[in-house]
Amino acid sequence: MAYPPGDISICTGQSFKTPVVFGAEIVSMTSSVVSNFSATVPEQINYNHPTISVDNVTFCNITVTLTHPGFNDKVITEAWLPIGTWNGRLQGRGGSGFTAGREVISTYGMQGAIGQGYATMATDAGLGSDAYDPSSWALTSTGNVNLIALDNLNARSLYDEAIIVKSLIQDFYGRAPEKSYWSGCSQGGRQGLILAQRYPTLYDGIVASAPSNHWNQVLSSIYWPQLFMNLAGEYPHGCEVDEITNIAVAECDPLDGVTDGLISDIDSCNFDPFSTVGRSFYCYDTGSIRQISDLAARVANASWSGMASSTGKKLWYGVNRGTILSGNGTGTSATDCSTGTCVGSPSQLAVYWIQQFLAKDRSVDISKLTHEQFDRLFESGYHLYESLLAASDPDLSAFHNAGGKLLAFHGLADALIPSGGSRDYYNAVTALDNKVSDFYRLFEVPGLGHCSGGTGGQPTAIFDAMRAWVENGTAPDTLPIQFIGGDGETNNRILCPYPAKARYRGTGPTTSADSYHCSM
């Protein structure tokens, strides 16, 4: 089907009709033609999609600024409308970290979308483009969280941008988009769940991967191994916890019937980290032979067991065995031993959350928290933010009834957002709707880190599978995945919708997807 090329004449000035957004006032609109745009968008940052080559695309770039009267905010939505190559569809892209969008990851995503003919968009929710440091907006003053900014980030900007861009599309092409889709991971995954829960008719299909759908639980749990080490007053070398992970992988790898360097059957892996204490190994930190300490085993055990209160109550899921625990920026159990004395190296995402949103004081030294103080901060965050920020409502009946389709993946080696949270949500939806698989499917990915990375490959076909489900009624019973094994050989596998797992048939090459099937 041929779609309108777009009216390029209205992209040269402020010729679009002013979008009407309930509760908002449009402050400004600017537009310009971008000609012959080319880029390569790698799958490692184009979550949910393959690597895309963008070749000489021309599009109309529209920037809309709005405010919500009385709130003194300034929210920017950016839309890219392809000229001559539109496929008749809209693809919204989600943010990362503490941003709603208009940062590096969403910009790459928009480039990939425009390269495939989609009209596309992102919003900054009025927060700017720093994906990690919310210091510029989190607090209006010490002790006072900017709840207006949080509300914009959580949900309101998602509604506003969709209404705005659909209005622009109508003006530019003379017709509404045939289908509207959302693609996101992490923060973008949380946004996808919010859209399905609160705005069930805005999008026909949503990919909401590795979602941070319980902010307080997720961001606090990222700090949990650091708190554990702070309370112990000791910090193991990163090589020690890495060696424990290596041993766990070697022990649990064969449980699925194939030895390939991945723990695919995490439910059957009950590897005991304390069994490694005293083992000798080569430490990359020191360039010498070391022995695994009891402390390292306790840190690994705490990371796998999950965040707990001072009374032993489990507060959130732990990461899975096989997850890299020591990596800078993502490893929750990371330490810095560069000076010869190891100290904690916490993820700044967790530090920002606890300082600015729980303690509400940028100057507080959270490394000095007692376990009881941590408990009180966590509990206060639950009361303040659960209804405001959590994308946890399991009632998706309105989205289901509207014909929406929802897909998600979650890496089983995700060091930032434990995959147990995605299982928890899927199970909660299932408890309310026993036909959940008719519209929502979750795929767990062995060896995959947070959205990308790791050793198990990425499900780059998940967005296209969602579109086929929406438009053709083709439900994805499996997803293809490919990774390079430790021997350098290419492995083709399948992913199965949770709770099913991919099982080796017992015959055929283990590197071929045809040698696997889905079973419980």
- Active-site positions read 186, 414, 450
Distance CA 106, CA 209 (A): 14
The two structure tokens encoding residue 368:
């000095």
Task: Report which residue type is found at 234.
Answer: E
Helices and strands: H and E segment counts in the chain: 12, 19
The answer to whether the CB of 474 falls within 8 A of the CB of 468 is yes
3-state secondary structure of 277: coil
Distance CA 78, CA 65 (A): 9
Give whole-number Cα distances, 11 to 52, 76, 89, 358, in Å. 26, 18, 19, 45
Nearest to residue 150, comparing CAs of 329, 346, 360, 347?
360
The answer to whether the CB of 483 falls within 8 A of the CB of 458 is no
Distance CA 77, CA 62 (A): 8
Distance CA 334, CA 383 (A): 30
3-state secondary structure of 37: strand
The two structure tokens encoding residue 255:
């449980």
